[in-house]
Amino acid sequence: MTRDDPTNAAIVAEAIRDMWDFYLIARTLPQERDADTEGKFKLMLRGATSAAKDDLSTPRDLQFESLVGAVFAMADIPTRPAPPDLGFTLGGQEWGAAVKRVRSGNQLAKRTTEARLQLEEENLHGVIVVNVDAFLEGVPASGAPGEVGRAFEAGVARLLRLLPDLAKQRSLLGIVAMGRVVGWEFDGDKPRLLHPWLFKASAFAEDRAARGVVDELFQLLQQRAGARMDESLRELERSLTG
């Protein structure tokens, strides 16, 4: 691994990211799973390991959905697979999460509307969780929090412009944008991969009780889950380096 071979660096980075995703998922996976959940995991694993040139969007979508479930679990939020994608309990109530992996800016309005309609079909209030990896080119993998935060918000500006209309939808408590940036450090004894997860949470609920639930959810995701994800990353790095 050298800074002069970006193609190889990108391949290795993608492999390590997948390893970390599956590591987090495996750590939080419930021991008892129904047939539908088992089928999803089998499809996800085949997609992640297959060398075929098929469209891997479905396995990747399932991978992100499972990763979001792992992040909720690491935040100590009781979570389970349930329509539209995940169900979770907070504040003594049941809520839904519609999880969307978006690969282009043109899909954002369509996919967030689809997520809202899925919640309404289940008669649920809840949140949309959007993967925004596709919009984070140029966001640094390290640096001052303010600098990274500004670059992240610039990358997801198109999503942020949708928030006023989404906030009018009574089924939505808020939206969480989740994305990961990747960068290599070559200044030490050996190359080191940086791939932090970045969160941008926006609350919509006007009702005071619902707003309290939303604020608690976002705080747990950003603080408790974030700390445990960092700890898990260090564990994985130790296992890889022996």
Does 54 score more than 50 pLDDT?
A: no
How many whole angstroms separate alpha carbon 180 and alpha carbon 17?
A: 9
Note the pTM of the prediction, 2 decimals.
0.86
Question: Between the CA of residue 191 and those of 6, 20, 126, 184, 186, what are the distances in Å?
Answer: 12, 17, 41, 7, 5
**199-209: per-residue pLDDT in tens?**
888 989 777 77
The confidence band for 48, taking pLDDT boundaries of 50, 70 and 90, is low
Does 97 score more than 60 pLDDT?
A: yes
Run of H or E including 104: none
How many whole angstroms separate alpha carbon 110 and alpha carbon 121?
A: 16
The confidence band for 87, taking pLDDT boundaries of 50, 70 and 90, is very high
Mean pLDDT of the region 106-118: 94
**115-146: per-residue pLDDT in tens?**
999 999 999 999 999 999 999 988 988 888 88
Task: Note whether 173 and 210 are within 8 A (CB).
Answer: yes
Greater confidence, 216 or 41? 216
Local structure of 185: helix, strand or coil: strand
Does 51 score more than 60 pLDDT?
A: no
**219-238: per-residue pLDDT in tens?**
898 888 877 877 777 776 67
**10-39: per-residue pLDDT in tens?**
888 888 888 888 888 888 887 777 788 788
**pLDDT score at 95:** 94
**pLDDT score at 183:** 84
Local structure of 35: helix, strand or coil: helix
Task: Note whether 193 and 199 are within 8 A (CB).
Answer: no
Greater confidence, 80 or 226? 80
For 11-29, b/e burial (b = at least 16 CB within 10 A) is eebeebeeebbbebbeebe
Computed over every residue of the chain, the mean pLDDT equals 85
